[in-house]
Amino acid sequence: MNSLHVRPPGPLVIDIENITKEYIMGEEVIHALRGVTLQIHRNEYLAIMGPSGSGKSTLMNMLGCLDTPTSGRYEFNGKDVSEMNGDELAEIRNREIGFVFQTFNLLPRSTSLRNVELPLIYAGVRPEEREERAAAALTAVGLADRLAHKPNELSGGQRQRVAIARALVNHPSIILADEPTGNLDSKTGEEIMTLFETLYQEGNTVILVTHEADVARHARRTVFLRDGIVESDETTVTSARETVEV
């Protein structure tokens, strides 16, 4: 049962201290996050859980540098991102974060290869190297024979694999997956979760955002959000397995 082994966490990647986020919806101010403190190390496998309205999506947007907090401190690899502008955040996303979306978000008219090349294009990588690296990433997720296929020629599971290859291709610091199995049947979902396990074992940092306990169960650490604050942050599940293994 080597795959269930907990790998020792590396240096600090994400350091969030007391961040809040407020939205103004018409007359009302919505407090999506009311002071969240969270630290994530390299090579952790973490699930963020919570019911809808718990601030889970908002926290994910923060973690993914898609949005900046209203107050509080957020350091990513030692860099303060809470005050960065749009283009600086784009650069962080490009180099440090691999996104996996529930709806895959592939470009419908582009081939798998072209889809996976996208982050490399925004990183300014030369075309030949781009193609090489994209092909390697697709091979790593088991799609070596699907390079020239367009999304509508692929199954749901294959599409999500393309998306995962796209997330991996820039060797990001974290892989941020938002309900990655939400649009898949349970069997395919399991396959995708196995892939995440492999990625984790290979040394990647994986953050799952989900409301399904079945999905969160794969992670070694679970952060539970409710009403914009961290309700619990525990590594019990993995410790239990570790115990089994030992």
Q: Which residues are at the interface with other proteins (CB under 8 A)?
A: 61, 64, 66-67, 86-87, 90-91, 93-95, 99, 101, 105, 107, 109-110, 118-119, 121-124, 166, 170
Task: Compute the least distance from the CB of residue 65 to other proteins, in Å.
Answer: 9
Radius of gyration of the chain (CA): 18
Task: Compute the least distance from the CB of residue 92 to other proteins, in Å.
Answer: 8
Q: Of 93 and 218, which has the nearer Cβ to other proteins?
A: 93
Q: Of 103 and 236, which has the nearer Cβ to other proteins?
A: 103
Amino acid letter for position 141 = V
Task: Compute the least distance from the CB of residue 157 to other proteins, in Å.
Answer: 19
The 8-class DSSP code of residue 138 comes to H
**Parallel, antiparallel, or unpaired for β 28-41 and 12-25?**
antiparallel
| CA gap 181, 79 in Å, rounded | 31
Task: Compute the least distance from the CB of residue 87 to other proteins, in Å.
Answer: 5
Task: Compute the least distance from the CB of residue 242 to other proteins, in Å.
Answer: 34
Q: Of 115 and 205, which has the nearer Cβ to other proteins?
A: 115
Q: Of 90 and 229, which has the nearer Cβ to other proteins?
A: 90
| CA gap 118, 246 in Å, rounded | 43
Q: Of 123 and 240, which has the nearer Cβ to other proteins?
A: 123
| CA gap 137, 115 in Å, rounded | 11
| CA gap 7, 235 in Å, rounded | 13
Cross-strand partners of 99: 176
Helix, strand, coil percentages for the chain (3-state, nearest 5): 40, 25, 35
